[in-house]
Amino acid sequence: MIVPMKKVTLLTLAAHRDKTLDALRELGILHVTPLKPVITGDVESARRTLEEARTVYSTLARLTSGKRPSPDSKFPTTPDRACLEEGARLMARTRDRTEHLQRLSHTITELSPLGDFSLAQLRELTARGLCVQLFKASAKAKIAIPDDVVQLELSRDNKTVHFALIGTRGWTPPEAVELPLPERALCDVIRDRDRLTAEQTADNIALAELGAHLPQIAKAVDALVDRLHWLQARDGMTAEGPLLLMQGFMPTNKLPALQAEAQREAWGWLAEEPAENDPVPTLIDSPRWFRPIHLMFDLLGMLPGYKEVDVSPVFLVFFTLFFAMLVGDAVYGLLFLGLTLLLKMKWKTAPKNMVPLLAILSCGTLVWGVLTGSYLGLDVLSGPLKRLRIGWLLDTTQIQTFCFMVGSIHMTIAHAWNVARLRKHWTALSHIGWIGSCWAMYALANYLVLGLPLRPGTGILLGLSIFLILGFTVPLHEMKKEFASLVTLPLSIIGNFGDVVSYLRLYLVGSASVVLIQAFNDIAFPKGAAGIVALLGGALIVFAVHVLNILLSTLAVLVHGVRLNALEFSTHMGIQWLGRNYDPFRRQTENTPL
């Protein structure tokens, strides 16, 4: 469920500002909302510092090997902040040096065709009254050189020739392009490049070594997060004479803790129900069995608004069914389950809810594969396995009807839930109409798509459903304001048919996967084929196709399985997934704030 929240206004003395903020942070239950803009110099400076620190951390995380610091490390007992500052210094120096190396490489590219010669000799020739000029021209050009000018060819390739002209006067051949005299000798530039490259290598080694201190650096980053949040809370307060006001939201069941702290700190406070337009954060407290689906919510950035509902149970049940139908193979399910167990043993720091969610999806796929008799596209079922199959799931028409039924049930749950929520309001009747519409569309889908007989009473059910939808969707006192939505209601009713039919994708994508595997099984192992080479070749083909099929099935789950929950079901449920995450003002680290 979505945890009920209270809007809390806190009053404290301006002289006790810092003490109040520290106490609130230790309490860690108030989601602070600023009463004024917090675009201040301190906040912006702290934000930039945090962004730089996170860049340092992410860079070092890529470089580190995960080893503990060695005894001869340059940073064996370096404090958290010092590690972060040293990493920032090394990275800044690396960036500057990289840009310098790029400029040197460009210079070397330009000077290499001219060869390596002494600038001192150039200046000496100029002092003696001689003119030295550099040129490039086409390798095929025929250049006539005057008698009082000496030509020195410096380099040549298939397209271009570089040469120098030395004489008592300047002269430019019409077939050539004059080049400026170099400001530095090629050998000096190469020497600088080699020196900087050596320094760069040393700094990279130092960065990699510093990366072994990632836990310390992570603490420093957390301390910077603490500092930023503290400044945001401070600068979001408003002053009323000698008093300061701050506001936020907290779970209703946390009010006793706030009351006790307010008595100790002599705060004034007021708790009230949030107003209609208040930016109330969302905190979901689902039953333990349904929490694994929260990982999917986090990955997709989906969070219901405070006024909406927690649909974790429905989402998990139907997402598991969709996953099983789209992947559809018992061996795949067994493989996923084995990989999940391996993941649990090897990755102790796996994200919360990952292993339970993968285990549920794997078991669902295994069960569906057994019920449909799908084992890598092979028709080699023995007696026990064959008896576990459900015959009507193998019938094309029956499985398509099942998909329509799943969609109707899915959307019926959404509207039935709304009926329960709005049971004291007559707009609940519109959702009863939508339930009837879903089942009328189920009958029409069977009739129009599959050619099955139209069920008796479908027309009456559809007509009554349309009457309830049009008559009770918008309250009478909001008719003028919501007139535009009434105009679009007929289109929504027609779209309900498309919603039901859209669940057919579960069958189409799943069956396409089976057909693909069976086709390649026949190609890899044709009847009459023999020989070890043919068997090995066929095994490689089948292995590659199964890998590809697993990848495509996973993609199908993301495209279709998530969509049916996040779009079709959520639209009928009225969920827009625009919630704000409950993020209380609390300490991220036990370190002293920076």
**Is pLDDT of 71 > 50?**
no
Q: Which of 109-123, 194-208, 439-453 has the highest mean pLDDT?
A: 439-453
Kindly list the domain boundaries of the chain, sorted by start residue: 1-35+236-281, 37-110+189-233, 117-184
| Type of residue at 555 | L
**Cβ neighbours around 346 below 10 Å, total:** 8
Contacts of 531 (CB under 8 A, 6+ apart): none
Strand order in the sheet with 176-179: 149-156, 160-167, 131-138, 176-179
- What confidence score (pLDDT) does residue 589 get? 62
Q: What does the block give as tokens for 183?
A: 């400001």
- What confidence score (pLDDT) does residue 491 get? 84
Residue 574 backbone zone (phi > 0: left; psi -120 to 50: alpha; other: beta) = left
Q: What does the block give as tokens for 379?
A: 């028709």
Q: Are 84 and 220 in contact (CB under 8 A)?
A: yes
DSSP string of 521-569? Answer: HHHHS-TT--SHHHHHHHHHHHHHHHHHHHHHHHHHIIIIIHHIIIIII
φ/ψ of residue 128, rounded to 5: -85, 5
| CA dist., res. 189 & res. 243, Å (int) | 65
In this structure, the dihedral spanned by the alpha carbons of residues 342, 348, 350 and 351, taken in order and rounded to 10 degrees, is 140
pLDDT digits (tens, 9 = 90+) for 152-169: 888 888 889 999 888 888
- What confidence score (pLDDT) does residue 482 get? 60
**Cβ neighbours around 551 below 10 Å, total:** 10
Q: What does the block give as tokens for 403?
A: 């998909």
- What confidence score (pLDDT) does residue 476 get? 60
| Type of residue at 478 | E
Residue, of 569 and 209, whose pLDDT is higher: 569
Angle 187-188-189 from CA coordinates, rounded to 5°: 90
For 22-26, 194-198, 203-207, which range has the lowest pLDDT when averaged over its residues? 203-207
Percent of the chain clearing pLDDT 70 (strictly above) = 92
268-272 vs 238-240, strand pairing mode: unpaired
CATH class given for the domain over 1-35+236-281? alpha beta
In the chain, the largest separation of any two C-alpha atoms, in whole Å, equals 113
Distance set, CA 14 to CA 30, 262, 359 (Å):
19, 15, 54
| CA dist., res. 355 & res. 360, Å (int) | 9
φ/ψ of residue 454, rounded to 5: -75, 130
541-554 average pLDDT score: 86
Q: Are 376 and 328 in contact (CB under 8 A)?
A: no
| CA dist., res. 537 & res. 405, Å (int) | 43
φ/ψ of residue 330, rounded to 5: -65, -40
**Is pLDDT of 77 > 50?**
no
| CA dist., res. 294 & res. 288, Å (int) | 11
Polymer length of the chain = 594
Helices (H), 74-185: 80-111, 119-127
Q: Are 354 and 360 in contact (CB under 8 A)?
A: no
Residue, of 215 and 274, whose pLDDT is higher: 274
Q: Are 118 and 261 in contact (CB under 8 A)?
A: no
CA-nearest of 356, 338, 253 to 296 is 356
- What confidence score (pLDDT) does residue 141 get? 86
Instruction: Indicate the pLDDT class of residue 69, thresholds 50, 70 and 90.
Output: very low
For residue 487, list its beta bridge partners: none
Total H helices, total E strands in the chain: 20, 9
| Type of residue at 106 | H
- What confidence score (pLDDT) does residue 417 get? 94
| CA dist., res. 409 & res. 321, Å (int) | 13
**Is pLDDT of 78 > 70?**
no
| CA dist., res. 518 & res. 542, Å (int) | 10
Place of tokens 């625009």: 578
DSSP string of 194-257? Answer: HHHHHHHHHHHHHHHHHGGGHHHHHHHHHHHHHHHHHHHHHHT-EEETTEEEEEEEEEGGGHHH
φ/ψ of residue 306, rounded to 5: -60, -35
